[in-house]
Each structure stands twice: as structure tokens, then as C-alpha cells.
């Protein structure tokens, strides 16, 4: 980690470190968020920001760097024992996702169902894997450029019940974009142990449901919760006697509606995602130049959602004040709502190419028909598409309603 | 500053510092931005982010803290000598802003005119002062809570030609939110001197205009540019002989269309602005409770643009599935476009109060009329205003178009 000193004196009491990940603040603030924003399980807290790791050997450019941008979601869920007490049983991933029971054919790709109260950790984990893949697809990374890798039991971190890596097929090899881990109640338990501040929640629904369980069920759920807690405590080095006592108290707490939430954590690198978006967008193709002769074109085919410039507004000619005036009007109409680039320098074909290189999905050209040279085309513009160079005519008044759904 | 070491070895070659302001990266990247984004003078680069200062005595809570959020704009302009060569003369603030020449009555408050090619540094500086005040007014800080303080000549930093502080009248005293400095060409000159990388620009318009000047004018403008450069170089400790030689070269460069841009820099603290917004929004007033009895209400009267929650969607009753279903439909219709809070817990009056405390400007209530109990009110909702508690009826289909202009 990067070490520094807070204040004028550089002694041991002044040592501080730059955060090596964004997640910890979420755990440290978990109870504050829970209480001030009136949340109930399950809910999530997301954060994006810089993280710093003082790597001895930074390499692979953006894949092991000392400063990077990270985005993490901590999604807090009830332990399965609580779900079972409330709903009778906890739905596993195959049930929640409508996949036929094992023994059937290939597991069906079922889209993402709406979350249900009876979901156990496995269903929630699968849900976030699907949501994250849908996110990547939604910003333009095709499904066949992504790899979903389920870590094998022997690869899992000791606190993880399951971890899925999402990888992207970079031109120079397949590399990880994100990990989605089911981390049990490890994180909040550790924060509770080390800070001495309680991280458990009280769940009224669980307390009410528990009272209606028969005795055998209570014993069974308590026993399982006891064993899970004991396993955690033992692994983290608590002496056997204290661990047993603490786990017993935790199991008693469950019956009163108390537990430490479990966590599903999607954790992604932003810099490498940007690199993936650029690699995926980069194309060289053939397109006719001004005189109809084919030439090689460099084009960044960004999804409109992530294109830095959404639309370019171009008067056909720079030296016709009516065209420029109208083009500036169109620019000013669009600019409050999306990122617009205005360009009047050079031949129109050259300006299209500039926008192709910048990845701008839409170009709007103001020409003499816009001004009414053909009366039926007055106040319409040419909409030119980056990917295939095709053009169509659109009314200025409709432009915004036409553009906004494509970039949102 | 906060010092740390990059890499495994803690020696002098590995020392690095956390940035004490966001501005420096803008200057360091000035030429990259200029060239890759095809800009011409004047243009600006803005940045928002964390800055760190290892204050010996942090105090006043958010006003002198070791970590803070800063937002800065470096707006690059031509030196006045270049403007004069191109446009004949450089408009000063009074001329640019339509203020009658001195000797007339009170300087008129003239709004903000559109920038003109003939503006000199003084007009640009005044422009940014007005723009920044308009920004604060636009997010809900009334003009009479703001103080515009023009620093006296003896208060100015040595490189500054003028600095205006914008202050806010906090309940505990008037404190600075922002400074807007006309910094001459000090910053880019310093970067050029210390990095050895040229920071000047080539201005084709200036080169062309210079050729058409008569000899006397060339001499006059060159002389003034020479003197300004000499003053800078001497102040920063360059030996007289070298300074004269360098300044002479710079003056010759001007005639060829070359100069170091000047800078207008609005630099604001984000944390203190948030505190100002909260202080300004906090009110206690009287409002009738459910039974019509007056009670004290705490309300945060945020401008809709900065309210964290824009609209709350509330079914009148939680235990009527038709109301809940309709309310969730309304929520889902608004949610892609603005931050919506859904709340179905407790009496409707109590839910309004909760949103008042959170500063939510609009509450939408779904009641039996929404479902068609009065057929003429089918698919309309109650729109309830935070500030005065007044209510009116709006059609669900119009909600988004009604809301968006208020929060943008």
C-alpha cells in the first residue's frame, strides 16, 4: 500500500494509507446507510473511485497499475437460514432462474427474472452475474467477446462460496474485467470483530416468522447458523472455546431476528473496461471518399451510450451565414441534453471522417434544403450514421426525441 | 503536502506527493487537449476531484481540511496584444458589459453578454465572475446570500491582475466559496520553464492580422508584449541579461502568431458549496398535521436541480394492491430519467414530512381517483409541493414532461 503521514509529525501514530480498494468504506458505513436511508434487506451500496496499490512490478499497462479506477457494489442479503425461516425454503439459482432440474437438457439461458423474497445466496449471486453481463452487453460488448468463468472450489478465497470472473477477449489475450463473489458474512463480521462496533441488523419479518416455526425447524436452522458462524470464527483464529460461545450467541440472536448480512460483491476495474470498449470499437473498413473512390476508414464503433460525443452538428458550408446560423440554432437546441460537437471546418466528407475517428454515432448536416430550397424539406436535416454511412432526412423538431432514447 | 513513496524502495528517487490542487494537470496537459480536441483560443478545460493538503492545524471543519473536493476551470485566452492586433483594440469590462463610461450614473447590472472576439482579459474575467454567480443562483443560492469581493491591488498574488472572491453568508459567518483570478500567462510560462516543454500556441489569425498592421502599431504592441514578458521573467528570478534576450524572442514570436495563452481561473471548493446549499435550504416552519393542527416542520428547501431525490412516489394506502401496482408503474416510468424514492410505509402526511426533511421538491400520490373512482380523474395523480404543501392534479402521461424542465 501507499503509506503517508497525516499532520506535521512523521511518527507511527500519524501513519495513513491510500485505500487499496473502494469496498471498505461501504462496510464501515454500512449501518449509517442502513439507518439513514431507511433500507431493509436486501439492498446494495455502490461506489466508484480511485484505488491505489504500491505494486512492486507494475506491468501489463492498465492491468497492474499503481493507481486505478474501481467500481464496486456490496449487495447485502439475508443469510439462507433467515430466508428459510421466513419463506419455508431458500430458492437456489436453478429454481430462481427457471432452469430445469439437473438431469434435463442443457441449462436454458433464461434472461434475468425479477428478484423474489425466497432467493438464497446462490440465486442472488447468479442474478448479479447475469445483471453484470447484461450491463456489458448494454454498453456494446457483444456476448461472444465475454467469458464467464466460474472459479473451481480449490481456486476460491477462503471466505468465498462462489466467484465468477467476467473476462473480455482483448486482441492481445483474454483478461479479467470483473469478479462477482459470494462472500458470505465475512466482511461485516470482520469489521464487527476489528472495530468492536456491531454490524448486525434486526429483521422484524424474521422475528415474526421464527415464532411460527415448529420446534424441530428452529433447532435445525439454529444448528446450521451456529455451524456457519463457528466455521467463520475458527477460521479467523478465535480460540475454540470463545468461538463456540460466540457462535451459540449468534444462533440465539437469529431466533430474535438478528443476523450479520451476507454479501454479493461485483467488483470491476474501470480503466480496463475503457480499454475493452476501445478495442471492441476499433475498426478499419472501406468507404467511398468525396469522389466515390473507396478508401480505408478508421472508425470507433462505440455504442451511443458510451460515445464521448453523441452527435456532431455540421453546416454544409462555413461561408454561408444562413447555414451557420441555423446550425448553431440546432446545436443550442441539443446541447442542454447531450454532448454535441460543432464543426464547420473543411469539406463535409472530411468532417464525417473526423467524427468516425472520434466514435460519434450521429452527424447532423444543415444544408440548403434545411433553409427551404426544396420547400417540402424546410427545417429538416441530414442524419448520417457512423457505422454504415447511410443518411436520412429528419425534422429538426423531432431530433431530440429521436436521439435521446438511443443514448439512454 | 502528503508525501509517499512509489515502488518498493523508500529513497529520494521514489518520493511522490498527493496533488494539492486539481489545476496542475490541466496545465501539464494543455497542449495535448489543444491539439487532440482541435481547439482554438479562447477555450477552457475544467476538472473536479480530490485534492490533499497536509494542514498542520485543520480547523473550521470543512473550510480547512486535509482532503477536499475541488472544481477548477482554466480558461485560456489570447494576450491583449494579440486581440488588439486582430481586432484593432481590446474591449475592457465596462465596454463589453455595456456599462456606461465612468462619470455616468451607477454601473448598470447588465446580465451576461455573449463573448466577443475583441474581449481583452478584463472583459473575460468579468464574464466568468458573472457566469459563476449565475451558476450559484441557478442552484438556489439567492443573490443576497452571496458577496462579490474584488481583491485590492495590495492583496493580489504577484502573478494576478485581478481576483474576485465569491463568498456565502453562512449562519456562522461569511466565508469564501470560490476565487476567480486573472492569472496572466504565469501558469503556462512556469510550466514551460520548469518542464522545458513549449506551451505556446500558434494563432493563424494573429499572424495574418499582424502582416496588415502599420509599422508604428507593430512596434507599440511588440514593446508592450516585451515588457510584460520581461516583467514575468525578472520576477521569477531569471538573470537580467537572459531575461531580456528571452523577452525579445517572445516579442518577435508574437509577430509570427506565437504566444503563451493567458488564463482566467475560477477555483471553487465543492464541500463548502454543499454546506452552503444545506444551510440555505434548512427551514423550520409551521404546517398543519393530519388533523389540521399546526405543527413545526423541518424542511430542506433545495432547488430541484440539487435535491438528492427529485420526486417521491407514494401509494395512498399500502394494503390496496391496485394502488401499490399503479404506484410502482409510475415509479418505473420516472426512474430511468430521475432519482425517484418509493415509500408506502405509514400515513401519507408522515411520508410527506419525511420527504420534506430529505428536501424532495415533489411528491406524487396515487389514490383511488387515480384508479378511476371519479372517472374524470382516472390516471391522474396528486402533485404535492414541498415548499408550501399545495397540491394539484396532473395526468400520469404528462408527469415526465412536467418534471424534467424543473430539474434540468
Residue B39: pLDDT band (50, 70, 90) is: confident
Q: What is the dihedral of CA A9, A12, A13, A17, to 10 degrees?
A: 90
pLDDT, tens digit, 9 for 90 and up, residues A136-168: 999 999 999 999 999 999 999 888 999 999 999
Is A9 an 8 Å CB contact of chain B? no
| Euclidean distance between CA atoms B391 and B405, whole angstroms | 19
The SS3 call for residue A262 is: strand
Interface test with A, best of B2, B53, B340, B357 (most A CBs within 10 A): B2
Interface test with A, best of B22, B37, B54 (most A CBs within 10 A): B54
Please give the pLDDT value at position B254: 97
**Nearest chain A CA: its distance from B55 CA (Å):** 6
* Mean pLDDT computed over A4-25: 88
Give Dmax (Cα) for chain B.
91
- Per-residue pLDDT for B99 more than 80? no
Neighbours of B191 (CB within 10 A): 19
| Euclidean distance between CA atoms A21 and A389, whole angstroms | 43
Is A37 an 8 Å CB contact of chain B? no
Residues of A in contact with B38 (CB under 8 A): 343, 345
Residues of B in contact with A345 (CB under 8 A): 38
Residues of B in contact with A50 (CB under 8 A): 50
On the question of a cis peptide bond just before residue A42, with omega within 30 degrees of 0, the verdict is yes
Please give the pLDDT value at position A98: 80
Query: Alpha carbon of B276 to those of B145, B176, B279: distances in Å?
Result: 10, 10, 5
Residues of A in contact with B53 (CB under 8 A): none
Nearest to B3 among A4, A7, A345 (CB): A4
Output the average pLDDT for chain A. Answer: 93
Residue A108: pLDDT band (50, 70, 90) is: very low
| CB pair distance less than 8 Å for A5 and B3 | yes
Query: Alpha carbon of A181 to those of A23, A267, A386: distances in Å?
Result: 13, 8, 39
- Per-residue pLDDT for B35 more than 50? yes
* Mean pLDDT computed over B93-97: 87
Please give the pLDDT value at position A63: 86
Listed in sequence order, the DSSP H helices in B262-371 are 270-281, 321-334, 348-358
Report the relative pairing of strands B362-366 and B311-315 from DSSP bridges: parallel
- Per-residue pLDDT for B106 more than 80? no
The interface residues of chain B toward chain A in range 336-355, judged by CB-CB distance below 8 A, are 336-337
For the four alpha carbons of B343, B346, B348 and B351, in that order, the dihedral sign comes to negative
pLDDT, tens digit, 9 for 90 and up, residues A332-343: 999 988 999 999
On the question of a cis peptide bond just before residue B42, with omega within 30 degrees of 0, the verdict is yes
Percent above pLDDT 90 for chain B: 79
| CB pair distance less than 8 Å for A54 and B6 | yes
Residue A60: pLDDT band (50, 70, 90) is: confident
* Mean pLDDT computed over B225-252: 94
The interface residues of chain A toward chain B in range 298-337, judged by CB-CB distance below 8 A, are 336-337
Nearest to B4 among A4, A7, A337 (CB): A4
| CB pair distance less than 8 Å for A66 and B6 | yes
Nearest to A408 among B7, B336, B408 (CB): B336
**Nearest chain A CA: its distance from B371 CA (Å):** 25
- Per-residue pLDDT for B387 more than 70? yes
Rg (CA), chain A: 28
Is B18 an 8 Å CB contact of chain A? yes
| Euclidean distance between CA atoms B226 and B235, whole angstroms | 14
| Euclidean distance between CA atoms B27 and B74, whole angstroms | 8
DSSP B373: S
pLDDT, tens digit, 9 for 90 and up, residues B45-84: 999 999 998 888 888 778 888 899 999 999 999 999 999 9
* Mean pLDDT computed over B325-340: 95
Residues of B in contact with A19 (CB under 8 A): none
Neighbours of B18 (CB within 10 A): 19
Shortest CA distance from A2: residue in chain B:
B4
- Per-residue pLDDT for A206 more than 90? yes
Neighbours of A176 (CB within 10 A): 15
Nearest to A6 among B5, B6, B66 (CB): B66
pLDDT, tens digit, 9 for 90 and up, residues A209-264: 999 999 999 999 999 999 999 999 999 889 999 999 999 999 999 999 999 999 99
Residue B104: pLDDT band (50, 70, 90) is: very low
| Euclidean distance between CA atoms A354 and A359, whole angstroms | 9
pLDDT, tens digit, 9 for 90 and up, residues A266-278: 999 999 999 999 9
Contacts 24+ apart (CB under 8 A), A278-285: A279/A168, A279/A170, A279/A171, A280/A140, A280/A141, A280/A142, A280/A145, A280/A168, A281/A140, A281/A359
| CB pair distance less than 8 Å for A54 and B18 | no
- Per-residue pLDDT for B133 more than 60? yes
Residue A105: pLDDT band (50, 70, 90) is: very low
Report the relative pairing of strands A262-269 and A173-182 from DSSP bridges: antiparallel
- What's the ipTM? 0.82
Nearest to A336 among B38, B54, B408 (CB): B408
Find out whether A307 and A359 touch, Cβ atoms under 8 Å: yes
pLDDT, tens digit, 9 for 90 and up, residues B191-203: 999 999 999 999 9
Listed in sequence order, the DSSP H helices in B288-372 are 321-334, 348-358
Please give the pLDDT value at position B107: 45
Spatial neighbors of A317 by CB under 8 A, at least 6 apart, are A323
Shortest CA distance from A3: residue in chain B:
B4
Is B6 an 8 Å CB contact of chain A? yes
Please give the pLDDT value at position A111: 64
Residue A106: pLDDT band (50, 70, 90) is: very low
| CB pair distance less than 8 Å for A3 and B5 | yes
* Mean pLDDT computed over A55-68: 85
| Euclidean distance between CA atoms B51 and B43, whole angstroms | 24
**Nearest chain B CA: its distance from A6 CA (Å):** 6
Residue A99: pLDDT band (50, 70, 90) is: low
Please give the pLDDT value at position A59: 80
Of the candidates B401, B282, B298, B307, the one whose C-alpha atom is nearest the C-alpha of residue B360 is B307
Is A6 an 8 Å CB contact of chain B? yes
| Euclidean distance between CA atoms A21 and A71, whole angstroms | 9
Of the candidates B305, B311, B309, B302, the one whose C-alpha atom is nearest the C-alpha of residue B276 is B302
* Mean pLDDT computed over B195-219: 95
Shortest CA distance from B345: residue in chain A:
A38
Spatial neighbors of B325 by CB under 8 A, at least 6 apart, are none
Residue B111: pLDDT band (50, 70, 90) is: low
DSSP B260: P
How big is the A-B interface in CB pairs under 8 Å? 35
| CB pair distance less than 8 Å for A18 and B4 | yes
A50, three cell numbers: 480511485
Please give the pLDDT value at position B95: 86
Find out whether B136 and B177 touch, Cβ atoms under 8 Å: yes
Residue B103: pLDDT band (50, 70, 90) is: very low
Find out whether B135 and B98 touch, Cβ atoms under 8 Å: no
Please give the pLDDT value at position A100: 53
Amino acid at each position: 500500500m501507499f503509506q503517508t503521514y497525516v499532520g506535521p509529525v512523521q511518527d507511527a501514530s500519524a501513519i495513513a494509507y491510500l485505500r487499496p480498494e473502494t469496498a471498505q468504506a461501504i462496510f464501515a458505513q454500512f449501518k449509517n446507510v442502513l439507518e439513514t436511508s431507511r433500507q431493509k434487506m436486501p439492498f446494495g451500496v455502490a461506489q466508484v473511485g480511485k484505488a491505489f496499490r504500491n505494486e512492486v512490478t507494475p506491468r501489463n499497462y492498465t492491468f497492474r497499475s499503481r493507481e486505478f479506477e474501481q467500481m464496486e457494489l456490496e449487495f447485502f442479503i439475508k443469510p439462507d437460514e433467515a430466508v428459510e425461516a421466513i419463506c419455508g425454503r431458500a430458492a437456489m439459482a436453478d429454481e430462481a432462474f427457471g432452469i430445469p432440474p439437473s438431469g434435463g437438457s442443457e441449462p436454458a439461458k433464461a434472461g434475468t427474472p425479477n428478484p423474489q423474497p425466497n432467493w438464497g445466496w446462490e440465486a442472488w449471486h447468479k442474478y448479479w452475474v447475469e445483471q453484470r453481463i447484461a450491463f456489458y452487453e448494454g454498453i456494446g460488448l457483444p456476448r461472444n467477446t465475454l467469458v464467464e468463468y466460474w472459479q473451481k472450489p480449490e481456486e476460491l478465497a477462503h471466505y468465498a462460496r462462489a466467484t465468477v470472473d467476467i473476462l473480455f477477449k482483448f486482441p492481445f489475450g483474454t483478461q479479467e474485467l470483473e469478479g462477482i463473489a459470494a462472500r458470505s458474512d465475512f466482511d461485516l463480521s470482520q469489521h464487527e470483530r476489528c472495530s468492536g462496533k456491531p454490524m448486525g441488523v434486526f429483521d422484524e419479518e424474521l422475528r415474526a416468522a421464527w415464532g411460527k416455526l415448529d420446534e424441530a425447524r428452529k433447532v435445525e436452522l439454529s444448528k446450521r447458523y451456529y455451524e456457519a458462524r463457528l466455521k467463520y470464527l475458527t477460521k479467523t483464529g478465535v480460540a475454540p472455546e470463545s468461538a463456540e460461545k460466540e457462535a451459540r450467541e449468534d444462533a440465539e440472536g437469529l431466533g430474535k431476528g438478528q443476523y450479520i448480512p451476507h454479501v454479493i460483491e461485483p467488483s470491476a476495474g474501470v480503466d480496463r473496461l475503457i480499454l475493452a470498449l476501445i478495442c471492441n470499437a476499433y475498426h478499419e473498413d472501406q468507404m467511398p471518399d468525396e469522389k466515390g473512390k473507396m478508401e480505408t476508414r478508421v472508425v470507433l464503433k462505440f455504442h451511443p451510450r458510451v460515445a464521448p460525443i453523441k452527435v456532431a452538428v455540421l453546416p454544409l458550408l462555413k461561408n454561408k451565414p444562413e447555414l451557420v446560423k441555423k446550425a448553431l440554432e440546432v446545436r443550442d437546441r441539443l446541447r442542454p441534453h447531450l454532448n454535441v460537437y460543432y464543426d464547420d471546418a473543411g469539406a463535409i466528407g472530411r468532417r464525417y471522417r473526423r467524427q468516425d475517428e472520434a466514435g460519434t454515432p450521429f452527424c447532423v448536416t444543415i444544408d440548403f434544403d434545411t433553409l427551404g430550397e426544396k420547400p417540402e424539406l424546410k427545417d429538416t436535416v441530414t442524419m448520417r450514421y457512423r457505422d454504415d454511412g447511410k443518411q436520412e432526412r429528419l425534422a429538426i423538431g423531432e431530433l431530440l426525441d429521436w436521439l435521446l432514447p438511443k443514448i439512454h
